[in-house]
Amino acid sequence: MKQREVTAADKTRWTCVQAYAGLDNETAEKATDLSETEQGGVPVVCTPSGGAQTVRLELAKDWLDNLSDEELVNAIQAAQ
């Protein structure tokens, strides 16, 4: 399961993972395809290290490789 960790300015460390990533490969791919929006977004769940609440985002399918840490933190903060 691929995940990314980013740290916000307030020192909260966020661990982000694409929804359904914990399933076996074939099931995860099918679930991802079914959950993908018309705009190509996929659901991503970000869990904080501190007292903040978990955040659910919709990000581009290539968010793991092509979204900068700053953009990911900004998306998390916008969703809070």
Q: How many domains does the chain have?
A: 1
Residue 26: HSE in the Cβ half-sphere, 13 Å Cα cutoff: 0
The whole domain housing 45 covers 3-79
**SS3 call for 45:** strand
Largest Cα–Cα distance in the chain? 38
pLDDT value for 52: 75
Using CA atoms in the order 4, 71, 52, 20, what is the torsion angle rounded to 10 degrees? Answer: -40
For the whole model, what pTM was predicted?
0.78
pLDDT value for 22: 52
Residues 8-46 pLDDT 10s = 999 999 999 987 655 456 655 655 555 566 667 889 999
